[in-house]
Amino acid sequence: MKRFIPVACTILAITTSANADERGGGDTAPNAGTASGPSQFELSLWRTPAFKQRFARSYLAVTDVEPPVTEKESVVMREVLDLMAANDLDAAIALLEKNRNAKATAAYDFMLGNLRFTRDELDLAALAYGTAAAKYPNYRRAWQQLGLARVQLGQFDKARDALVRAFELGADDAVTAGLLGFSHSNTGQWLGAETAYRRAIMLDPKTLDWQFGLAKAYFAQERFEEAAALLQTLIEGDADNADLWLIQANAFLGMDAIDRAAENFEIARGLGGATPESLSMLANIYVNQGLGDVAMDRYLEGLGVESGGDPAPAFKAARLLTRRQELEPVERMCAFMRANLMDGFTAEQKKELLKVEARVAVQRGRGDREAEILAEIVDLDPMDGEALRLLGQYYGRQDDGFEKAIFYFDRAGEIEGFEADAKVDQAQLLVRNKDYSGAIRLLKAAQAIRPRDSVQRYLDEIEAFQRNR
C-alpha cells in the first residue's frame, strides 16, 4: 500500500530541527521543542481530532479514492456504457435508477450524476454526486464533480467545501484548483482564491481564466501594483486584447497613476474595445485635467456605444464645466442628447438635461430662456426642489421679481431635503433688500435644520453688521 507522509509532520520536524540549531542544543525552556522531541504546542496540534483524521487518511492508497465494484455491478455498468454509446441516455438513466440503492456501489450514483450533468439537470446531478460521496467518503471524482455542479448552480459555499475535500483526497489538476479559486472569490475568501489560482496557473499557465481570477484577487486585496504587473505579462502575450488594457487601467487608477490609466483607456478605445464605463472614466480624467472638449467627446462617444447608456457622468461633468464657463462642450452635449437620446430618457434624465441647459442660459446671459426651461422642469415635476430654488434665484435677480422669488423659495422649502437650502436662498435675497432681521431669522432656522460652518459664518457676519450699523 502506498503511504504518504503528512505535510504537517514534515513542517513540524523541520521547525524542531531549526530551533535546535539556533539554540545550539542548550535551550531548556519548558514549552520549547528540542532535538529530542516536539514542543507542547506541537503536541497539542497532533492531538486534535482533525489532525488525527488527516494523519490517518495519509496512509490511504491511491486506489482507495475509487469505490469497489462487484462483478455483477461491473456488468450493469458495461450495459450503461453501451446505452450511452448508443446515445440512449433515457435507458441508461433508467437502468442505473433500477439498480442503485443504499447498498449498491457509489459508482452507480456517480455515473447517474454524469448523465444528469450531461443533460444540464444540475440539481439532480449534484444530488447524485452527493449520494456517491456520502456512500464512499473518499470518492475523489465524486467530490470533484459535485464541486463543479455546485459552481454552475452558483452554490459557492458548498462548491468550495466539495473541492477542498477533493484536494484532500489528492486532486491536483488545474480545473479543480481554478474552480476552487472561483468559489473562494465568490465567497469573499480572497487569500484562499489567490492561493488556488496560483496553483491552477502553475499547472495550466495558458488558461487566461486563472490569470484573470488571480488579478481579481489582487484587486480585492487592493494590491494594485501586483495586479498591474500580472496584467502587463498578459498584455505582452496578447497586446490586441482590449480587456487586458482596460483591467490594467483600473489597476493604475488604484495606484493613482492617472496618466497611465488614461493611456490604457485610449489604447483599448483604439482597439475597438471601449465600453461606456471606460469612456466615462476616461472623460472624468480629462475633465480633471481641464480638457473639457476632449472629455465631452468621450462622454458622448460612451453614450453612443450602446443604447441606454447612463448619461449621469456627462451631466455631472457638464455642471463642472459650466461653473468653469467652458460652455461650448456643454452646449454640444445638450444638442447631441436632444437629437439622439431625449426620446429614450426617463423623466429624471429629461429634467437633468433641462437643468444643464438652464445653467448654460444663465452663463450666456439668456435669462428669459433660463426661466422658460425651469418652468418646463416644474411642469414635469412640481416637487422638484432644485428647479424651484433656481426659479427663485432667477426672479431674485430681476428688478421686479422679489415676490415671485419668495413664492418659489417658499415652495422649495416645503419639500423634504430642500428646507435648509431654500431658507438660505431666501435669506440672501432679504440681505440684498436690506431686511437683515428677516435674514437672520431664516439663517437660524436653516442652521436648526442642517448646521453648516459656511452658513454660520454668513450668519455671524450679518449679525455683526446689524449690531454696528
74 inside domain: yes
Domain end, chosen from 152, 179, 207, is at 152
DSSP letter, residue 104? S
- The pLDDT tens digits of the residues spanning 156-215 come to 999 999 999 999 999 989 999 999 999 999 999 999 999 999 999 999 998 888 998 999
For the ranges 68-72, 100-104, 371-375, which has the lowest average pLDDT? 371-375
399 inside domain: yes
Q: Are residues 24 and 51 located together in one domain of the fold? A: yes
- Where are the strands (E) in 328-379, listed by range? none
CATH number at residue 428: 1.25.40.10
> For position 312, what pLDDT does the model report?
83
> For position 336, what pLDDT does the model report?
85
Q: Are residues 78 and 92 located together in one domain of the fold? A: yes
- The pLDDT tens digits of the residues spanning 26-38 come to 333 334 444 445 5
Which domain, by its residues, includes 46? 7-59
Identify the band that residue 56 occupies on the pLDDT scale cut at 50, 70 and 90: very low
Residue 42 cell numbers, joined = 506541537
Would the pLDDT of 381 be above 80? yes
> For position 198, what pLDDT does the model report?
95
User: Locate cell 458495461: which residue?
Assistant: 78
CA distances from 13 to 212, 244, 462 (A): 37, 44, 80
Q: Are residues 48 and 109 located together in one domain of the fold? A: no
Q: Are residues 74 and 53 located together in one domain of the fold? A: no
> For position 310, what pLDDT does the model report?
77
Would the pLDDT of 59 be above 80? no
> For position 25, what pLDDT does the model report?
39
For the ranges 45-54, 219-228, 291-300, 452-461, which has the lowest average pLDDT? 45-54
Identify the band that residue 251 occupies on the pLDDT scale cut at 50, 70 and 90: very high
CA distances from 209 to 149, 154, 199, 204, 244 (A): 18, 17, 13, 10, 12
Q: Which residue has the higher pLDDT, 19 or 327?
A: 327
> For position 40, what pLDDT does the model report?
58
**What is the rounded end-to-end Cα distance, in angstroms, of the chain?**
104
Domain end, chosen from 152, 186, 210, is at 152
Q: Which residue has the higher pLDDT, 286 or 61?
A: 286
422 inside domain: yes
Distance between CA atoms of 436 and 197, rounded to whole angstroms?
69
> For position 35, what pLDDT does the model report?
42
Contact 302, 309 (CB under 8 A): yes
Q: Are residues 38 and 118 located together in one domain of the fold? A: no
DSSP characters over 387-444:
HHHHHHHHHHTSTT-HHHHHHHHHHHHTSTT-HHHHHHHHHHHHHHTT-HHHHHHHHH
274 inside domain: no
> For position 429, what pLDDT does the model report?
94
17 inside domain: yes
Q: Are residues 77 and 46 located together in one domain of the fold? A: no
Domain count, the chain: 3
- What percent of the chain shows pLDDT beyond 90? 53
Identify the band that residue 18 occupies on the pLDDT scale cut at 50, 70 and 90: very low
> For position 63, what pLDDT does the model report?
59
Domain end, chosen from 95, 118, 152, is at 152
132 inside domain: yes
366 inside domain: no
> For position 296, what pLDDT does the model report?
86
> For position 44, what pLDDT does the model report?
58
Would the pLDDT of 306 be above 60? no
> For position 47, what pLDDT does the model report?
61
Would the pLDDT of 60 be above 70? no
- The pLDDT tens digits of the residues spanning 336-374 come to 888 888 878 888 888 888 888 888 887 787 778 878 888
Q: Are residues 69 and 48 located together in one domain of the fold? A: no
Buried b (16+ CB within 10 A) or exposed e, 262-292: bebbbbbbebebbbbebbbbbbbbbbeeebb
Identify the band that residue 266 occupies on the pLDDT scale cut at 50, 70 and 90: very high
Q: Are residues 15 and 87 located together in one domain of the fold? A: no
**Taking the model in full, what pTM does it have?**
0.60
For the chain, what is the mean pLDDT?
A: 84
Identify the band that residue 53 occupies on the pLDDT scale cut at 50, 70 and 90: low
392 inside domain: yes
Judged by DSSP in three states, 165 sits in helix
